[in-house]
Amino acid sequence: MARIRQKSRNKSRDESCGNPSFIFKSIGFFCMFQLLRLPRATHLVHRNAAAEEAVSLPSTPPPAVEEETRAFKAHSALTPVVEQKRGTEILWWQKEKPLLKDWPYLPERRHILPWLEKLKFTKGIEVGVQRGFLARRTLSVWKSCKEYKLVDLWGADPNYKQPGRDTIAHHHAHLRKAQNILKPYTDRSITEFFVMRSVDAAPLFQDSYYDYVYLDARHDYCAVKEDIDAYWPKLRPGGILAGHDFIDAPSAVAALGPNKDWSHCEDGTLEPRAVKGAVEDFAASEGLDIVTTHEGFDTWLMQKPYDYKDSTA
């Protein structure tokens, strides 16, 4: 019994840390453990190197983008984008009556498009479609759009001498192109073509109904005024009227050449303020604010007030 007890005491000493064989075994286990860990450790180092490489990529955007980002941030800082309602954050576009003045900075006209979607707009008109490039781009972003009416003469207007060199053949080719690239939307009854003068098409559309109208047909003062007057009633209160080329005739000529002189109206009147003048005069007469993009040939936007009383209503 005593011997047995002695043996077991020796065994426990064998396994104690002071025993040399225990030390060797431990070193062996430690080395094997390290060897097993080696591939994982290498992988980790590799991943870290990749992460460092990503971080060390140039982080400064090119100047134009940087400029836009700065302006965007400055504008966003000024814009009251949220309000508290029963403890929930309401973003400006989720408000019952979102306002154009709360829209964020719009560098280019393509930056308008995501807001049409966010604002849950569903009905629009584009006046002056040409090859349909803007229409296609608009609908590719504005996925909730259910109706998008396309108005263009796609031909010569006897009352309007269009500056530029487009022949009838050009106009017909433009129409074919627009029909072709917008076919997926026409097949789903979203787009509908109105091959006629803008002012002749306007009475075909329901008043106080559309969320968004974009004007980009004629560019002289009288014609833009006529189109604004014809399409403003089509908007429902809160809807957005927008259009291209918020610019006067001398600036257009300076940028595009004498071919694009918009200073003469159909009746021969000289009005060099062209699109910009017509939009400014309408805004002044209705007491509206004008918001524009910032790309040279800017897009202008105006909102029909929610309490607007249409003379037709």
Ligand X SMILES: C[S@@+](CC[C@H](N)C(=O)[O-])C[C@H]1O[C@@H](n2cnc3c(N)ncnc32)[C@H](O)[C@@H]1O
Among 24, 47, 214, which Cα is nearest to 134's?
214
Contact flag: residue 150 with ligand X (CB under 6 A): no
| Least distance CB 213 / ligand X (angstroms) | 12
| Least distance CB 220 / ligand X (angstroms) | 10
| Cβ neighbours of residue 155 closer than 8 Å, sequence gap 6 or more | 168, 171, 172, 195
Sheet of 210-215: strands edge to edge? 191-195, 147-152, 123-127, 210-215, 235-243, 300-303, 291-292
Contact flag: residue 128 with ligand X (CB under 6 A): yes
Contact flag: residue 271 with ligand X (CB under 6 A): no
Let me know: does 178 contact 132? Beta carbons within 8 Å: yes
Q: Token pair 């098409």 is at which residue?
A: 201
| Site map 95..124 versus ligand X, x via CB under 6 A | ------------------------------
Contact flag: residue 211 with ligand X (CB under 6 A): no
112, 116, 125, 129: which one binds ligand X (CB under 6 A): 129
Residues in 217-246 that interact with ligand X by CB under 6 A: 217-218
Lookup: tokens for 135:
């229409």
160, 232, 282, 300: which one binds ligand X (CB under 6 A): 160
Nearer to ligand X, 29 or 133 (CB): 133
Q: How far apart are CA 221 and CA 277, in angstroms?
A: 7
Q: How many residues bind ligand X (CB under 6 A)?
A: 19
Contact flag: residue 153 with ligand X (CB under 6 A): yes
Nearer to ligand X, 130 or 191 (CB): 130
123, 130, 191, 248: which one binds ligand X (CB under 6 A): 130
Let me know: does 121 contact 97? Beta carbons within 8 Å: no
Lookup: tokens for 243:
């259009």
Nearer to ligand X, 81 or 256 (CB): 256
Return the number of other C-beta atoms located less than 10 Å from residue 156's C-beta: 13
Interface region with ligand X, contact rule CB under 6 A, candidates 34-42, 146-154, 249-257, 297-305: 146-154
Contact flag: residue 207 with ligand X (CB under 6 A): no
| Cβ neighbours of residue 142 closer than 8 Å, sequence gap 6 or more | 113, 116, 117, 121, 124
| Cβ neighbours of residue 104 closer than 8 Å, sequence gap 6 or more | 72, 75, 76, 79, 81
Nearer to ligand X, 162 or 269 (CB): 162
Contact flag: residue 197 with ligand X (CB under 6 A): yes
Interacting residues with ligand X (CB under 6 A):
128-130, 133-134, 151-154, 157, 160, 162, 171, 174, 197-198, 216-218
